[in-house]
Amino acid sequence: MKTNIFRPIKIGKETFHPKFFDESSFIMDWTMQEGGAVPQHLHKHMDELFTVTEGEVLFTVNGQKMIKKTGEVLFVPRGTPHSIKNETKEKIGLTVKYSPCADTHRMFEIIATLDQENPGSMINMLKYFYLVPKLKLREFSTLEPKFIMNVINTVIKIMGLLLGWKRLVGKFKN
């Protein structure tokens, strides 16, 4: 499947704009509107390097809160629980680098393709999480604590079954 992933993709209060990927890394620009937040999660397969390009970002890493401002960086090693929040009244911007790429490009291929059919829908992200085990992809992230992710995965499996998402597997197989 050849979908242009190098374009802005808006989901809720966030806009993702992939810029580059190869086996060693995936780089994107990411903006978040006022009040946006990413809950505590971790990446099992990659390290994450944030560079704040606009505004002030509240990070919580291993339970420690810190604010990073324009020009500052934050490295989050794989397996480290972290969350991100925009507590300001302004848009925040970041450049994010994942090392290695670890199937991140596949996540954006899937989401970009689904976004063409249903722009901006959070359901596109749920469909991606449904497809991860079916396509044998390395998961992008997992929510913490783990039991929450287990509950969400169970709900996603049921939704996929009831809504016929199995048909998507063939569409996204390499």
Q: pTM, whole model, 2 decimals?
A: 0.93
Q: How many domains does the chain have?
A: 2
Q: 19 with 27: CB under 8 angstroms?
A: yes
Which residue, 99, 126, 147, sits at the end of a domain?
Answer: 99
pLDDT in tens, 10-65: 999 999 999 999 999 999 999 999 999 999 999 999 999 999 999 999 999 999 99
pLDDT in tens, 105-158: 999 999 999 999 999 999 999 999 999 999 999 999 998 888 999 999 999 999
Q: Are residues 91 and 28 in the same domain?
A: yes
Q: Are residues 95 and 108 in the same domain?
A: no
* Three-state secondary structure string covering the chain: CCCCCCCCEEECCEEEEEEEEECCEEEEEEEECCCCEEEEEECCCCEEEEEEEECEEEEEECCEEEEEECCCEEEECCCCCEEEECCCCCCEEEEEEEECCCCHHHHHHHHHHHHHHCCCCCHHHHHHHHHHHHHCCCCCCEECCHHHHHHHHHHHHHHHHHHCCCHHHHHHCC
Q: Which of 35, 41, 95 is nearest to 68 (CA)?
A: 95
Q: Are residues 95 and 125 in the same domain?
A: no
